[in-house]
Structure 1
Amino acid sequence: MNKFFFVLCLVLLFSFSTAQAQNYSTHKVKQGETIESIAKKYFVTPSDIYSLNPDAKKELRVNSVLIIPKAKESNIPKVVTVRELDGFKKHRTKKRETLYNLSQKYNVSIEEIKKHNKFLYAEPLRKGDKLQIPIFKVIEVEEVNELTKKYTVLPKEGKWRIAYKFGITVKELEELNPDIGAVLQEGQILNVPNIGNDEEKEVDEQYSYYKVLPKEGFYRLKLKLGLEQAELEALNPVLKLGGLKAGMILKIPYSNLSDGIVELDNRVNLADSITDFNTKHIAIMLPFRLNRVDFDSESDIKKSITKDPYLDASLDFHSGVLMALDSLKKLGVSLKVDVYDTKYELGEVKRIIDDNDFENVDAVIGPLTPSNFEAAASELRKYNTPIISPIGTNLKLYDNVFQSRPSNDLLKKKIVNFVKSDTLTSNIVVISDTKNKEVSDDIKREFNRAKQILSRKDKKGEDKYFVSKGDIQGVLKVGKNIVFLETQDAGFVSNVTSILAALIQEENIQERKQGIEIVLVTTNVNNAFKDDEVDNTHLSELQFHFATMSRSYNENDDNAFVKEYSRIYNVTPNNRAVKGFDLTMDVILRLVSSENLYTSVNKAPLTEYVENKFAYKKKLFGGYYNNTVYLVKYDDLAIVEVK
C-alpha cells in the first residue's frame, strides 16, 4: 500500500512538473540583453516577464535566470510557404496539349501560364505555340506578428480607458510607454498591444468600471460587488481565459460605490487647448480693507498686515493671482483684470457692482467670505455673470455660482469609501471624543461591526481627552486594523497616536508572534492633527490616511510656479497663494478654451494644477460645485497622494 502511494505521488509530481514546463521556460541573461530584447525573443511582452520576475524591474543582472511565460498562439510566428519566380522554361505546344495538361506537367496554375503568355487571354492554345512556362522555387517564410502597435490618444481619453480598450492594466500600459506622463494629451502616440480590431473594447458610460485590487479573488468581489463569477465573466469574457489579475479593469453594472470603481479620469491640460485669443475681462474681489492700513511707515504697514487676518489672506491669495496672470500672458492670453477691495462690507460689495459694468465681465473670482460672496452672486445673477468662490463651502448655489472648494461631505465620503474598498481589513475601530459622538455613530452605521471607543471622562462627566492603552488593545485584532480618529483636540490626537504606534506588532514566524497592522484614518482632518504636540513619526508609522481638498506640493519637485514664486517673494508659497494661482489659471484657461465658463464644465471635465484639481458638476436646480478631492497619506514623514 505504501509503495503504491509513493508511486502515485511520483506520477502526480511528474504530471505537475510537466504542466509547469509546458507553461513556462527559463532564460539565462546574457551581457547586453534587455527585458525588451528578451521579451521579443520569446514573443511575450515586458509586462509578462515582470509579472513573474518583479526584481528584474530594479536590476537585470547578467547570468540571472528569468522565468518566461508561454507565448500566446497568436504571437508565435507562423511558417508559411511562398513561391518565388526563379526563371522560365521554353515549351512548344504539341498536338492535343491543353492548358490544363501543361499546368499539371509543370505544377503551375493556368492563370500563371496566361499571365506570362498574354496572347492566350484572347486566343486558344494551338499546336506549335511557343510558350514560356514560369518556374518557381519554394521557400518558407515566418509571418511575424508585431506584439505592439501605435495608438493615437483620442479627446478625453485617460490611461484606464486605453488600458481597458486593449485588455491590459494601467501599470502594463505605463511599462509599454515609460515616458507616458501623468496626464494624456489628445494626439499623443502610445504603444499598445497589437490585438485584432474586433477584440478592442469600448467604454460604455451606462456601466461602471472596477479596478481589481491585489489578492482579490472572485469570492471577495462577490462580497464587495454582489456579483457571481459567472456574471463577471459574462461582462468580461477575458476572465474565462486568463482569470483575475491585480490592476485589470472590469466592466460591472452601474454602481454607487466610489473607491475601487474607476473614476472617469478625463483630466485635460487646458494650456494645450487655447482657441480664443480675444481679450477676456475678469474681476477679483478681496477684503483687503486698505482703509484700515496705517501707511505711515513700513513697520506700521507690517503691523497692520499682522493684525488683520483678512488683509493677510487677501495679499497671499492675490500674490498667487499675479503669478497666474504672468504665466497666462506668456501663453499668449490677453486679459483685462479689475481688482476690487470689498472692505469685508456688504454695502461695499453692492456699491462696486452698481458703479461698474459687470454685464461684460467674463468671470468674477471672490469675494472670500460667504456673506459677501452670496451678496455678489445674487447681484450678478441678472447679468448671468459666473462667479467663483475660492474658499466657501455649503454656499447657496445660484445658477451662476461655482463653488471651487469641495464640500466636507465629499471629504467624508471619500475616506469612508476608501475603507470600504479595502477587502483585506479584518477589524474597524472608531475612537472619538464626546463632541464627535454623532460622527462616530455615523461611521458605526456604515460599518456595523466596528468597535467604538470614547474619550475618558472626569467625575463631572466632562471629556478628559485621553484613552488608555488597555482601552485600545482590547479591541485590536491580529491582521489589519483600520482606526478612525474623530476629534479637534490636539492632546487627544497625540495621546491616541502614541498608543496606536506602540501597539503595531511585526509578524515573527520564529517566535510564533502574529502581526498587528494599524492604519489610522479620519473623516475630518483639522489643525489638531497638524499641531506641534502630535508626533509626525507616529502618523507615518500608522500610515495616516485622510481626504483633502488640496495636496501639498513636494518642494523637491521641479515646479516652475514654486521656483518663480520663491525667486520673486523670497519665500515658498503657502496654500492661499497656491490656491490663488491654481484657481485663476483654471478659470481663465477654461474661458479661452471654451465658449464660456458654463460650457467648459463638459469640455474640461477634470483639470489639475499645483495643489488643486477641479471637476465641476451642476446641481439639478442651481449652480456648480467641485466634485473631486485627494486621498493622501503620511509616508516616511511626507504626505503623498494615494493613487
Structure 2
Amino acid sequence: MKNILTIILIAFTIGLSAQGYIEHTVKPGETIESIAKGYLVTVDDIFALNPDAKRKFQPNTVLIIPNSKVKNDAIVEDSRELVGYKNHRVKRKETLYGLSQEYGVSEEEIKKANRSLYSENLKKGDRIRIPRFRTIVSQQTLTNTVKKYTVQPKEGKWRIAYKFGITVADLEALNPFMNETIQPGDELNVPNINDKEEKQVEATSGYYEVLPKEGFFRLKVKLNLTKAELEALNPELKETGLKAGMILKVPAGVAPTEELETVESTNLKSNLTNFKTKKIALMMPYRLDRIDVDAVDETKEMIKDNRLLSTVLDFHVGVKMALDSAKQLGISTDLKVFDTRYHISKTAEILAENDFSDYDAVIGPMEENSFNRVAMTLKADNVPVIAAMSKPKQVYTNVFQTLPDEKLLSKVMTDFVKADSLKTKVVIISDHAHKTSSEALQKVFPNSKLILTQKDKKDKSKDGYFIYHANLKNVFSEGRTFVFLETDNSSLASSVVSMLNALAVNKTEIILATLNKGKAFDKDVDNNNLSNLKFHYPSVHKDFDGTTSNGFVETYRKEYGIAPSKYVARGFDITLDLLMRLATADNLYDASINTIQTEYIENKFRYNKIPFGGYINEAVYIVKYDDLKIVKAD
C-alpha cells in the first residue's frame, strides 16, 4: 500500500513538472503573499492548487506553485577560455593600452600574465607574455525573472500592466517605491518576457481594470459588453476567467456607466463583531503655536474671527461626540490628535516622527498638499486616509473621499427629474459659462427649451447675465415644468427666480432646480420665492431640523447652549461611520463595498472603488425648499 502511494505521489509530481508547476517548501517567516510575489503569481493562484493552505500554513509545508506568466527562457552568452600565451618584446614607446588594443585583450589580463607589471612600468626590451583566449558560446538560464523597462510617453500604470500581462497591483508589488503617477523616462521592474509576447496598447481601443468581485454580468451592465464580446477582445479570458486587477481591452469610447441604484440604508449596529480598540489619528490645522493660552479674551476673539480655526474646532467637537456614541455601543477608540498647522513641512515632520503602520485610519489633513503627502506615505502600509472636508487632488488606493464628485451630483439630479411620474416639461436657463453643460443637459431632455443669457450691451464679448421677460413668454402652460437654472451669478439667479415666481400662478406649476448649487442661490435670492418654486438641488448633506427632538442636537445644546453647525455634524457623521464600519469587519476596505449605505445626522455614505484608485462616496441627497425649510425630496 505504501509503495502504491509513493508511486502515485511520484506520478503526480512528474505530472506537475510536465505542466510547468513547481514545488515550494515554506520557510520560517514566509507568507502566502511573499511567496506569490516571489513567483510572480497571485495568492488566489496558490490557494487554487493548495486549498488546505488557507487553514494550515506553516514552515516545511510543501506548496504547488503554478507556472507564472513570466518566461525564463535560456539566453545565449559568450564566454572566453585561456588557451595559451604569445611572447612579445616591448618596443620603444609601446604602452599597455596600445598592446591591449593590438592583441584584443585588457590591460588587466596582460598584468595578470606578467605580475611584475603591477609594480614596474613597461620598458623597451622587456619580454612579456600576451594571453590568448578562445570564445565559447554557451546557453545560460536567468535566475532573475524581472527586467527593467523605461516608461514611454503617454504610458500609465494600466497600459504597462496590460502590455506585460499583469495586474496594476502586481506592477506596484514589483515596484514598491514607484510614484503614484509615473513619468516618461522612469525605470520600472516588469516581467522578463520575450518582446514578441508583449501586448500592444492600441490608441483605437479603450481599457478597463476589473474590480474585486466583478463578474461578466456586472461588466455587461457597466460596459454593455457580453461575455463573448469581452473574450473576443481578450482571448486569455477563456483560460483564466475574470480576475480582480486584470486589464481588459474594450472598444474605444466605452466608458463604465454605473447605474445609480436605490440602496437601502444599512443598520450597522446589528453587525458589530470586531470590538478591538480602534486606533485613529486626527490630523487638523489647529495652529496651536499661534494661540496664547494666557490671553483668554484675545483667544476667544481669534477663534470667532478665524473661520478656518472655527471650522476645525467644530469638526473636532463632532469627532469627540462620535467617540462617545461609539463607546456606548462597546467600540473603544485610541485617538491621537496631530496639529498640522496647515503646512506641509509640519505634516512631513509628523510622518517622520511617528509610526502609523498599525493605525486603522487617519482623518485629514485639510490642506491639499499635506493630505497628498500623508496618503502617499501611508499607502505602503495600506492605512486608510479619510478626506473629510475637501476633495483630494489624487485619490490613491488607500484614500476615502467622503465628498461625492460634481458629475455624480448632476447625474443624480437629472435622474430624479427623469423619474418624475408626471409628463414633465423641462426648460433650461443658463449663462454662457455653463453653456456646454446645459447643452448636454438638453440632450438628456430632447424636448426641452434652452434659454441663454443676453450679451453685455456695451461689450458683446462679455456675458450680460440677464434675460428678458419676453424670453419666458409662452414658455409655460398648465401642468408641471422643471426649470434648470445653471449659473454662479447671484444677480442672474435673483432676477430669474423673481420672474419665475410671478409666472407660477393658477395651474402652472414651476419647480426650480439646478445641477450644482453654488453661492449664486445663497445671496440676494428671496427664500420665500425659492420655497414657492420648491427649489430642488443635489447635496452632499441634508440640514437637520434643530427644532425637533434629536439626541445629537440636545446633547450639543446642553453642552454649548446653541445648535451645532454643519461642521460639528460632519465631524460626528464621518467619525461614527468610520468606527461603525471598522467594528463590522477586519478593516475599512472590507467594510466599504458599494452595497453598504449608512446614514447619520446630516450625511450618508456609500463608497465605490474607482479603477486604479481609492474609494469615493456616491451617496447623494436631493433636497428642496419647503415652507422655508430645506428637507429631503420625496
Q: Residue type of the partner of 1:525?
A: K
Q: Is the Cα contact below 8 Å between 1:406 and 1:625 reproduced in 2?
A: yes
Hey, what does 1:405 align to over in structure 2?
403
Q: Residue type of the partner of 1:595?
A: D
Hey, what does 1:330 align to over in structure 2?
328
Q: Residue type of the partner of 2:466?
A: F
Shift of the alpha carbon at 1:580? 0.1
Q: Residue type of the partner of 1:274?
A: L
Shift of the alpha carbon at 1:530? 2.2
Q: Is the Cα contact below 8 Å between 2:624 and 2:631 reproduced in 1?
A: yes
Relative to structure 1, the CA distance from residue 276 to residue 258 in structure 2 (aligned partners, 3 Å threshold; closer, same or farther) is closer
Q: Residue type of the partner of 2:457?
A: D
Q: Residue type of the partner of 1:598?
A: Y
Q: In structure 1, what is the Cα distance between the partners aligned to 2:480 and 2:259?
A: 22
1:498 maps to 2:533 = no
Of 304, 309, 312, 1:311 maps to: 309
Hey, what does 1:484 align to over in structure 2?
484
Q: In structure 2, what is the Cα distance between the partners aligned to 1:602 and 1:484?
A: 33
Q: In structure 2, what is the Cα distance between the partners aligned to 1:589 and 1:487?
A: 39
Q: Is the Cα contact below 8 Å between 2:594 and 2:607 reproduced in 1?
A: no
Q: In structure 2, what is the Cα distance between the partners aligned to 1:282 and 1:521?
A: 40
Hey, what does 2:57 align to over in structure 1?
none
Shift of the alpha carbon at 1:557? 2.8
Q: Percent identity?
A: 39
Secondary structure, counterpart of 1:602 in structure 2: coil
Q: Residue type of the partner of 1:516?
A: T
Of 508, 511, 515, 1:516 maps to: 508
Q: Residue type of the partner of 2:298?
A: D
Could you give the per-residue CA deviations for residues 207-258 of structure 1, whole angstroms, max 9, x where no partner exists?
A: 99xxxxxxxxxxxxxxxxxxxxxxxxxxxxxxxxxxxxxxxxxxxxxx9695
Q: In structure 1, what is the Cα distance between the partners aligned to 2:522 and 2:594?
A: 38
Hey, what does 2:566 align to over in structure 1?
575
Hey, what does 1:636 align to over in structure 2?
627
Q: In structure 1, what is the Cα distance between the partners aligned to 2:594 and 2:603?
A: 19
Could you give the per-residue CA deviations for residues 468-524 of structure 1, whole angstroms, max 9, x where no partner exists?
A: 322223422332211110112222211111110110131xxxxxxxx3221110011
Gap regions ≥5 residues in structure 1: 1-203, 209-254, 507-514
Hey, what does 2:582 align to over in structure 1?
591
Hey, what does 1:525 align to over in structure 2?
517
Q: Residue type of the partner of 2:399?
A: V
Q: Residue type of the partner of 2:582?
A: L
Could you give the per-residue CA deviations for residues 178-201 of structure 1, whole angstroms, max 9, x where no partner exists?
A: xxxxxxxxxxxxxxxxxxxxxxxx
Shift of the alpha carbon at 1:558? 1.8
1:557 maps to 2:557 = no
TM-score norm. by structure 1 comes to 0.57
Shift of the alpha carbon at 1:466? 2.6
Q: In structure 2, what is the Cα distance between the partners aligned to 1:439 and 1:477?
A: 26
Hey, what does 2:80 align to over in structure 1?
none
Secondary structure, counterpart of 1:357 in structure 2: coil
Secondary structure, counterpart of 2:623 in structure 1: strand
Hey, what does 2:616 align to over in structure 1?
625
Number of paired residues?
382
Q: Is the Cα contact below 8 Å between 2:531 and 2:627 reproduced in 1?
A: yes
Shift of the alpha carbon at 1:603? 9.0
Q: Residue type of the partner of 1:566?
A: R
Q: In structure 1, what is the Cα distance between the partners aligned to 2:434 and 2:528?
A: 25
Shift of the alpha carbon at 1:307? 4.1
Secondary structure, counterpart of 2:330 in structure 1: coil
Hey, what does 1:126 align to over in structure 2?
none
Q: Residue type of the partner of 1:480?
A: R
TM-score norm. by structure 2 comes to 0.57
Q: Pairwise mapping of residues 98-177 of structure 1 onto structure 2 (< 5 A)?
A: none
Secondary structure, counterpart of 1:622 in structure 2: coil
Q: Pairwise mapping of residues 86-101 of structure 1 onto structure 2 (< 5 A)?
A: none
Q: In structure 2, what is the Cα distance between the partners aligned to 1:258 and 1:554?
A: 31
Of 274, 277, 289, 2:287 maps to: 289
Q: In structure 2, what is the Cα distance between the partners aligned to 1:434 and 1:628?
A: 30
Hey, what does 1:610 align to over in structure 2?
601
Relative to structure 1, the CA distance from residue 257 to residue 336 in structure 2 (aligned partners, 3 Å threshold; closer, same or farther) is closer
Hey, what does 1:432 align to over in structure 2?
430
Secondary structure, counterpart of 1:452 in structure 2: strand
Of 376, 379, 390, 1:378 maps to: 376
Q: Is the Cα contact below 8 Å between 2:372 and 2:392 reproduced in 1?
A: no
Shift of the alpha carbon at 1:294? 4.0
Hey, what does 1:360 align to over in structure 2?
358
Q: Pairwise mapping of residues 439-450 of structure 1 onto structure 2 (< 5 A)?
A: 439-450=437-448
Could you give the per-residue CA deviations for residues 329-384 of structure 1, whole angstroms, max 9, x where no partner exists?
A: 22222211000111111111121111112011111011123222111100101111
Q: Is the Cα contact below 8 Å between 1:565 and 1:571 reproduced in 2?
A: yes
Relative to structure 1, the CA distance from residue 333 to residue 264 in structure 2 (aligned partners, 3 Å threshold; closer, same or farther) is closer
Shift of the alpha carbon at 1:426? 4.5
Q: In structure 2, what is the Cα distance between the partners aligned to 1:256 and 1:360?
A: 36
Q: In structure 1, what is the Cα distance between the partners aligned to 2:367 and 2:473?
A: 45
Relative to structure 1, the CA distance from residue 617 to residue 593 in structure 2 (aligned partners, 3 Å threshold; closer, same or farther) is same
Relative to structure 1, the CA distance from residue 414 to residue 346 in structure 2 (aligned partners, 3 Å threshold; closer, same or farther) is same
Q: In structure 2, what is the Cα distance between the partners aligned to 1:603 and 1:403?
A: 14
Hey, what does 1:369 align to over in structure 2?
367
Hey, what does 2:420 align to over in structure 1?
422
Q: Is the Cα contact below 8 Å between 2:432 and 2:463 reproduced in 1?
A: yes
RMSD of aligned Cα (Å): 2.4
Shift of the alpha carbon at 1:436? 2.1
Hey, what does 2:138 align to over in structure 1?
none
Secondary structure, counterpart of 2:483 in structure 1: strand
Relative to structure 1, the CA distance from residue 519 to residue 206 in structure 2 (aligned partners, 3 Å threshold; closer, same or farther) is farther
Q: Is the Cα contact below 8 Å between 1:427 and 1:477 reproduced in 2?
A: no
Hey, what does 2:266 align to over in structure 1?
268
Shift of the alpha carbon at 1:604? 6.7
Q: In structure 1, what is the Cα distance between the partners aligned to 2:441 and 2:527?
A: 25
Shift of the alpha carbon at 1:527? 2.2
Relative to structure 1, the CA distance from residue 606 to residue 307 in structure 2 (aligned partners, 3 Å threshold; closer, same or farther) is same
Relative to structure 1, the CA distance from residue 257 to residue 419 in structure 2 (aligned partners, 3 Å threshold; closer, same or farther) is farther
Shift of the alpha carbon at 1:463? 3.2
